Chains A and B, each alone.
Chain A
Amino acid sequence: MKVNNASKSTNTDITNSKRSLIKQKIISLGIRLLVSTLLKLTRNRRKKLVQNIGKTILRFANKTRKRAINNIINAMPELSIKEATDLAFDAYGNCAYGVAESFWLSQVEPDIFCDEETLQILQSGTGACIATMHIGCYEAVPLAVAKFAKQSVTLTNIPDFLADTMDFYSDVNITAINKKSANAFSELVIRAGNNAYISLHCDLYANQTEVTFFGQKTKAPSGVVLLAKLTKKPLLLAYAVYQDDGQVQVFFETLTSEKLAEQKTQQESEQTVEQVMAQIYQRFEQIIRQYPSQWYWSYNRWKNYSS
């Protein structure tokens, strides 16, 4: 009897995994079709269509919409409810487009802005760690890095059904390490040690380092800062925003580097992880205030954290 049950169970597992595989293939195919249809449109029409799809999704996603509006009101209490609601919809539409652009990264040609020292770091080929954020075109930072450097690496949290379409990264010379893979961390460290340029989003919540963000205490992922400290690589901050005409602009800034350290006293140059994170979050806040309709407000960013 036990043997029969085991056999039945194995058969069910196989059927489920086959079903799941078929489901993944169908979704993947659907996405490919949708992307190829979108690519037939002009950039402006494509942008408007995706933004409208995003806004429509938010209209029906009550919890997400309320969270976005609450986040905006808490961050910028000077805004009225109507202004906050309009901003939530605009931001969600823009973010939908920013995410969608990952599917046609090879068609994205960003304008890149940085100072002389940062340019030298990007062109040196000796690697750097880059703190980035979910604003504008999410993958434009590693894309811009790939224009300068051989090894542009990022972490992704790509769903299984998109795994097949993941080659959109390799098309533009970005190495995407799947966060869910067992050896993601080891791979990241090895690449960092081998002079890669590692772009990591660090504007979302993680139970790591305490920061103040829009006047509220919260916690943030500080892996990028630790990685820079341990590998003795420069730490940059970068973000990508859209202009009114749809053109992506990517900005790079140097936060810590050997050259900057030489200019400072030893005490100043040995900033703690918390101090560097405070610097990053102060800058993130300035950037978001400058482009409020391009940041992803719908995330549970502040959670129920209190110090």
Chain B
Amino acid sequence: MSIQQSIIQFIEEKTHSPLIDLTDNLLGTIKSFDFMMLMLELEQKFKLKLPFEQALSTNLRQIDEFICWVELHDES
């Protein structure tokens, strides 16, 4: 499963909604606790090291921006 699929599936499970708008605010869609769980899950599943404090910067608010940011860390 790709990073994008994993993130979307996680959000769908938490929101109980199959229709995720990728331009939505990530922290407005899932709780902060779930956000931390998601980060941890991504780190473990894809063997990543994500700079956690960066994940909340202003240009990563949207779900699609967050996905790109995680994918970027996977490539590097």
Q: A223-B33, A229-B40, A230-B39 are in contact. Are A185 and B52 (CB under 8 A)?
A: no
CA distance A223 to B37 in the complex (A): 9
Q: Is A277 an interface residue (CB 8 A)?
A: no
A81-95 CB mask vs B (1 if < 8 Å, else 0) is 000000000000000
Say whether A223 contacts B36, CB under 8 Å: yes
- Chain A positions within 8 Å of B, measured between CB atoms, are 185-186, 189-190, 192-194, 206, 208, 221-223, 226-227, 229-231, 273
Say whether A185 contacts B53, CB under 8 Å: no
Say whether A230 contacts B36, CB under 8 Å: yes
Say whether B52 contacts A230, CB under 8 Å: yes
- Chain B positions within 8 Å of A, measured between CB atoms, are 27, 32-33, 35-37, 39-40, 43, 50-53, 55-56
Say whether A186 contacts B56, CB under 8 Å: yes
Given A206-B33, A226-B33, 19 more pairs with CB closer than 8 A: A185-B27, A185-B56, A186-B27, A189-B53, A189-B55, A190-B53, A190-B56, A192-B53, A222-B33, A223-B33, A223-B36, A226-B36, A226-B37, A226-B40, A229-B40, A230-B39, A230-B40, A230-B43, A230-B52
Say whether B53 contacts A193, CB under 8 Å: yes
Nearest CB in chain A: distance from B65 CB, A: 15
Which one of A192, A193, A194, A206 has the highest number of Cβ atoms from chain B below 10 Å of its Cβ? A193
Q: Is the interface of A mostly helix, strand, loop or mixed?
A: helix
Contact among A190, A193, A206, A227 with B36 in the assembled complex (CB-CB below 8 Å): A227
Say whether A208 contacts B52, CB under 8 Å: no
Nearest CB in chain B: distance from A275 CB, A: 14
CA distance A221 to B34 in the complex (A): 12
| A186 contact set on B, CB distance < 8 A | 27, 56
Nearest CB in chain B: distance from A271 CB, A: 12
A to B CB contacts below 8 Å, 7 in the list: A189-B52, A189-B55, A190-B53, A193-B52, A194-B53, A230-B50, A273-B37
Chain B residue at minimum C-beta to C-beta distance from A188: B32
Chain A residue at minimum C-beta to C-beta distance from B51: A193
| B39 contact set on A, CB distance < 8 A | 230
CA distance A126 to B36 in the complex (A): 21
| B52 contact set on A, CB distance < 8 A | 189, 192-193, 230-231
Chain A residue at minimum C-beta to C-beta distance from B54: A193
Q: A226-B40, A230-B39 are in contact. Are A189 and B33 (CB under 8 A)?
A: no
CA distance A1 to B27 in the complex (A): 41
Q: A190-B53, A194-B53, A231-B53 are in contact. Are A185 and B32 (CB under 8 A)?
A: yes
